[in-house]
Amino acid sequence: MSHYIAKRLLGMLFVIFVIIIFSFLFVHLLPGDPAQIYAGGDATLADIANVRHRLGLDQSLLSQFYLFVSNLFQGHLGVSYASGESVVDILKPRLMVTATLGGMSLWFIPMGIFFGFVAAVFKGRLPDRLSMVLAVGGISIPDFWLGLVLMQIFAVHLGWFNPTGYESLSDLVLPSITLGMMGTAIVARFTRSAFLDVLSENYIQTAKAKGLSEFSVLIGHAFRNALLPIVTVIGLQIGFVLSGSIVIENIFSLPGLGALLIDSVNNRDFPIVQMLLMIFAFNFVFINFLVDILYMVINPQIRMK
Amino acid sequence: METTVSPIRLFLLRFKREKQAWVALIFLIVLILAACLAPWIAPFSPDQEDYNSALLAPSWAHWAGTDMSGRDIFSRILFGARISLSVAFLSVTVGAVLGSILGVVSGYFGGYLDSIIMRISDILFAFPSFLLAIAIVAVLGGGIINVIIAIAIFSTPMFARLVRSQTLSVLNQPYVKAAQTMGASHMRIMFKHLIPAASGSILVYFTMRLGTSILTAASLSFLGLGAKPPSPEWGRMLADGRDLMLVPGYMYLTLYPGICIFLTALSCNVLGDGVRSALDPKS
């Protein structure tokens, strides 16, 4: 088992290294001279030369990369070229908003399992059909449109919530409902098929044959085993919450990281874009790593080795 | 008992029973026809501004109302279908073709080539696809062509993995061995035997990716990173209607383009589900 963790950890470190390289190259991949991009549109040639020297852009690519990585580890994430503030100061307050929104959107996990479970138990009957119609709808609905519709109904017409902005937790209710919809649908579909797979196994027939109640067969025998493949899907969906927040924060004007990413791309504020892409990718990779470890911990077949 | 029926025939027989998939297929065909015939069937020009008839609610003259510049929303939706459908179709096709070639090469030759192709696809998988699309668009700049490139890039590794695993599962089948023994070239084996063996899975995936691709392209345009105004791309229309979303009574501005995105993506997903269960009755 520790061999497996070590292998997975190495794999993650490799991917993190690649992400750092990509983020470093990001500014160089942009069309145009990075020094000019940093210096701004109305900079003089002297300004550009100055910036080039200050950022070390006149050095070799390798030593620039060394500088980039060592700055990263010391927590120097660069300076926004739009406002001149340090990127760390800009990101800090926004991180909390996005994390809270992400946390609140995790309602999709129990909801998805519930719908998938009900669908599997009532296979082919009305509850199954309803759940699966909802699930395929949830996968196909554009989240930005769902957000706009919910906002217009519950905030503009009924006045239950503030339509935009973030002052209290209640402002995150509609955004988190929107953000969790896709996850609910995907988890429900996977839960259903995982349960159907398990319910056709011989040991379930045995349990039924020896006279156990329907309930104890479902909860005691089927639930645990069906949960195994679902964990991976749930983990992947948690990873997607952060990238989903990009659109949702934008619609509801929430001052989080996702809204910042779009603003920065539109303002061509590349130091911020660079750091955000890196943070988002790190988060995704790290969650996937945790899920793999969790999967292994709850799966006796791997644990025993 | 079914040994005498060809696989394609069998698939069509099973597919006949997928009623929901038929509804989805018919919807998509009607939409494609409407998109092709847009210049002839649209009641108004999609770009014609008329400030005397701005912001009219849906009526007999303007089925879906008019927007802030007085453009007919229904006509814009018809023309927008051309953009949304071709973006989805082009991007997924490029991804599917590139991915299938990489996947079959990877699975057939194995070794270093396989390792390299699979490591690169692992790395691309390490990023959420939407984030990758934003990063690509941030580097290349906005616009429809760059959206197509972005979606094609993150679709490629998905098809590569799919075709690779299908290739590995049939590589040791007698008919592949027989072709090799008879001296068939690598190209012939890959394109006559291995890719056709994966074609069912490719078809299912292709249909489902169309849905995702329509959603992604619309999201990017909605965020201002895709189609530029005055394009009638559906996501772009939603973004235009957003300015009035806090004013009661203007919901129709965003309602109809949104429903179109939803129904199109839904049809692709339902059709994909139907094709899958016709190919593999167990699922």
Residue A290: pLDDT band (50, 70, 90) is confident
What average pLDDT does the segment A260-273 reach? 84
Left, alpha or beta for A59 (phi > 0: left; psi -120 to 50: alpha)? beta
**Pair of tokens at residue A236:** 């992947």
SS3 content of chain A, % helix, strand, coil (to 5): 80, 0, 20
Tell me the per-residue pLDDT of A207-221, one tens digit each, with 9 for 90 and over: 888 888 877 888 777
Q: What is the DSSP letter of B243?
A: G
**Pair of tokens at residue A78:** 């660069």
Question: CA dist A110 to A11, A89, A177, A184, A188, Å?
Answer: 30, 36, 13, 8, 10
What average pLDDT does the segment B242-252 reach? 78
Tell me the per-residue pLDDT of A139-166, one tens digit each, with 9 for 90 and over: 999 999 999 999 888 988 888 988 888 8
More confident residue, A40 or B94: B94
Q: Which of A25, A98, A145, A249 to mutate to test the interface with B (most CBs of B within 10 A)?
A: A145
pLDDT for position A112 = 94
What is the pTM assigned to this prediction?
A: 0.87
Tell me the per-residue pLDDT of B101-151, one tens digit each, with 9 for 90 and over: 999 999 999 889 998 898 888 888 777 888 888 888 888 888 889 999 999
What is the dihedral sign for C-alpha B214, B217, B221, B227?
A: negative
Q: Kindly tell me if the per-residue pLDDT of A94 is higher than 80.
A: yes
Q: Kindly tell me if the per-residue pLDDT of B85 is higher than 90.
A: yes
Q: Do A19 and B215 touch (CB under 8 A)?
A: no
Contact (CB, 8 A) for B63 and B69: no
What's the whole-number average pLDDT of chain B?
86
Q: How far apart are CA B146 and CA B168, in angstroms?
A: 34
Q: How far apart are CA B217 and CA B227, in angstroms?
A: 9
Q: Do B261 and A142 touch (CB under 8 A)?
A: yes
Contacts of B105 (CB under 8 A, 6+ apart): B113, B117, B190
Q: Is A147 at the interface with chain B, CB within 8 A? A: no
Tell me the per-residue pLDDT of A235-244, one tens digit each, with 9 for 90 and over: 888 888 888 8
Q: Kindly tell me if the per-residue pLDDT of B56 is higher than 80.
A: no
- Cα B250 to chain centroid, rounded: 30
What is the dihedral sign for C-alpha B153, B154, B159, B162?
A: positive
Q: Do B219 and A144 touch (CB under 8 A)?
A: yes
pLDDT for position A304 = 59
What average pLDDT does the segment A14-31 reach? 82
Contact (CB, 8 A) for A271 and A34: no
Q: Shortest Cα distance from A223 to chain B (angstroms)?
A: 20
**Pair of tokens at residue B31:** 């939409």
Q: Which of A16, A27, A144 to mutate to test the interface with B (most CBs of B within 10 A)?
A: A144
Q: How far apart are CA A286 and CA A292, in angstroms?
A: 10
Residue showing tokens 């030759």:
B109
**Pair of tokens at residue B89:** 């179709």
More confident residue, B64 or A8: A8
Q: How far apart are CA A183 and CA A195, in angstroms?
A: 18
What average pLDDT does the segment B221-246 reach? 85
With vertex at residue B227, the alpha carbon angle to CA B271 and CA A244, rounded to the nearest 5 degrees, is 60
Give the residue among B146, B270, B156, B116 at the shortest CA–CA distance from B217.
Answer: B146
ipTM of the complex: 0.85
Q: Which of B23, B223, B267 to mutate to test the interface with A (most CBs of A within 10 A)?
A: B223
Residue B43: pLDDT band (50, 70, 90) is confident
pLDDT for position B63 = 75
Tell me which residues of chain B have a C-beta less than 8 Å from any C-beta of chain A: 122-123, 126-131, 134-135, 137-139, 141, 211, 215, 218-219, 222-225, 235, 238, 242, 245-248, 251, 254-255, 257-258, 261-262, 265-266, 268-270, 273, 283
More confident residue, A62 or B282: A62
pLDDT for position B271 = 93
Q: Shortest Cα distance from A73 to chain B (angstroms)?
A: 21
Residue type present at position A206: T
What average pLDDT does the segment A58-81 reach? 82
Range from A32-46, A102-116, B12-26 carrying the lowest mean pLDDT = A32-46
Q: Shortest Cα distance from A26 to chain B (angstroms)?
A: 7
Give the residue among A58, A83, A88 at the shortest CA–CA distance from A71.
Answer: A88
Q: Kindly tell me if the per-residue pLDDT of A302 is higher than 70.
A: no
Q: How far apart are CA A135 and CA A149, in angstroms?
A: 18
Q: Do A140 and B269 touch (CB under 8 A)?
A: yes
| Cβ neighbours of A163 (radius 10 Å) | 19
More confident residue, B83 or A63: B83
Task: Specify the CATH architecture of the domain B87-256.
Answer: Orthogonal Bundle (1.10)
Angle between helices B195-222 and A143-150 (to 10 degrees): 40
Residue B242: pLDDT band (50, 70, 90) is confident
Q: Is A3 at the interface with chain B, CB within 8 A? A: no
Q: For B199-205, which contacts have Cβ atoms below 8 Å and span 24 or more sequence positions?
A: B200/B11, B200/B279, B200/B280, B201/B162, B201/B163, B201/B166, B201/B279, B202/B96, B202/B100, B202/B159, B202/B162, B202/B163, B203/B275, B203/B279, B204/B272, B204/B275, B204/B276, B204/B279, B205/B96, B205/B158, B205/B159, B205/B162, B205/B272
Contact (CB, 8 A) for B213 and B87: yes
What's the whole-number average pLDDT of chain A?
85
pLDDT for position B176 = 85
